[in-house]
Structure formats: structure tokens, C-alpha cells
Chains A and B, each alone.
Chain A
Amino acid sequence: NAGVTQTPKFQVLKTGQSMTLQCAQDMNHNSMYWYRQDPGMGLRLIYYSASEGTTDKGEVPNGYNVSRLNKREFSLRLESAAPSQTSVYFCASSPPWLAENSPLHFGNGTRLTVT
């Protein structure tokens, strides 16, 4: 049971390059999320997808695009990377409604450095 799988684990980009962060979950969850975590700060929501075929902006969406490819996969794309996007990116998934026995499940993160 893999849970939430993110690839790659590490990535170094030069300013202006593009890349896609991949995320897949095997828990049949409806909702998926992309968060970023910066030193000394909590996680901030970039985009989320409440269900297959829908996506919505979170707190810090600028510079990113997302695709909910199917129920399992939710990708995050940086079209033109900037040093301010250096961060650790976490994907998460959940059932449609938050409940005591259905916690949010996180992947192990992608560490991205933009030089």
C-alpha cells in the first residue's frame, strides 16, 4: 500500500526552465492537494482538486498550473521556474469530506532548487 507517491524526490532547475511534479495516490480518494513548505513557514496551499475534472486555486497559485489527469493523479507544473519557487512541495489526498477517521495523507515531498 504505497499511499501518496511523489516524483521526483529532488530536482535542481535553472531560472526559466520548466518541469512537472508528479503525484499519484492509490487510496481511491476524491480530493488532492499541492502544498509548498518554506523554511520557518507553515505549508501553504497552491492548488487543490476536489474531484476528478475540477481544480481550484489556493493561497499561492501564481507561477503554477495543475492537471487532474484522472482520479489517481494530480500534477503540478512550473512553466518558467524562478528562484522564489525554491521550496519543498507536498502532494496530499483525502476523501471528499474531512472526518475524524479519514485524515489527510501526505507524500514525502519533492525538494526543488531553482538557481
Chain B
Amino acid sequence: KQEVTQIPAALSVPEGENLVLNCSFTDSAIYNLQWFRQDPGKGLTSLLLIQSSQREQTSGRLNASLDKSSGRSTLYIAASQPGDSATYLCAVGMDSSYKLIFGSGTRLLVRP
């Protein structure tokens, strides 16, 4: 059974710092991996989607990498801002549907 883990559960950094969020999964036969952002009291917003054949995806200050063989993905946030404060979740898809398996998230606080 696929399990997705995100460590740490919470992270606090000063504004301007570059940071890395980690996601690991137990079954490397994934179809894709997605990173989401969740603001308090809100639903999830899709940030980046990496297909199993890809190594990384970039959007603005965000860069997500995927290493299937080691069962790991990282989300790199450059020059963090207070507006980046949110919970970040990774999710693994085992097929082309949206039946995703989620990690429990990393709660990020960027201090001014």
C-alpha cells in the first residue's frame, strides 16, 4: 500500500530564505506527483504536477523535483515571502485518474 510522508510537519523561516520541503513515498511505481497549497479555512490549490517521466517542474519561485527510484520529491521555494505561509501537501497518483494519496502536509510560516 502506498504511503506518503512529509517531514517536517511544521517549519518557520525568516523572510527571504530559500527553503526545501520534503515528500517521500513507499511505492516507486507512481504515475505522477503533485504539490498543493492550502490556506487556513480554504481548499487546496494545485501548484505543480510532475509526471513520472519528468525530473522536475518549475513555476515562478517554485521548483519541484522527483526521484522515483529513491521515492522522494522536494519542493524548493526561492526567496520566501510572508505570503508563502500556508500548508503544503504532496500527493501521489498511481494512475491517470485523480484518486490521489496525500501526505499530511508541512505547515510553513515565513516570518517578516
Smallest Cβ distance from B59 to chain A, in angstroms? 11
A74 contacts the other chain (Cβ, under 8 Å)?
no
Q: By CB atoms of chain A within 10 A, which of B45, B49, B98, B100 has the most?
A: B98
- Is there an interface contact between A109 and B98, defined as CB atoms closer than 8 Å? no
- Is there an interface contact between B49 and A103, defined as CB atoms closer than 8 Å? yes
Task: Kindly report which residue of chain B lies nearest to residue A101, judged by CB atoms.
Answer: B49
A94 contacts the other chain (Cβ, under 8 Å)?
yes
A50 contacts the other chain (Cβ, under 8 Å)?
yes
Could you say which of A45, A97, A106, A107 contacts B96, with CB atoms under 8 Å apart? Answer: A97
Given A40-B104, A42-B4, A44-B102, do A106 and B44 touch, yes or no (CB 8 Å)? Answer: yes
- Is there an interface contact between A43 and B98, defined as CB atoms closer than 8 Å? no
Smallest Cβ distance from A58 to chain B, in angstroms? 7
Smallest Cβ distance from A21 to chain B, in angstroms? 14
Number of interface residues, chain B, beta carbon within 8 A? 26
Smallest Cβ distance from B65 to chain A, in angstroms? 16
Number of interface residues, chain A, beta carbon within 8 A? 25
B32 contacts the other chain (Cβ, under 8 Å)?
yes
Chain A residues closer than 8 Å to B42, beta-carbon distance: 108-109
Interface residues of A in 82-115 (CB under 8 A from B): 90, 92, 94, 97-98, 100, 103-109
Nearest 6 pairs of A and B residues by beta carbon: A42-B102, A106-B43, A103-B46, A43-B102, A106-B44, A94-B98
Bound together, the chains give a CA A90 to CA B97 distance in angstroms of: 17
- Is there an interface contact between A98 and B43, defined as CB atoms closer than 8 Å? no
Chain B residues closer than 8 Å to A108, beta-carbon distance: 41-43
A4 contacts the other chain (Cβ, under 8 Å)?
yes
Q: By CB atoms of chain B within 10 A, which of A41, A42, A58 has the most?
A: A42
Could you say which of A45, A105, A107, A109 contacts B100, with CB atoms under 8 Å apart? Answer: A45
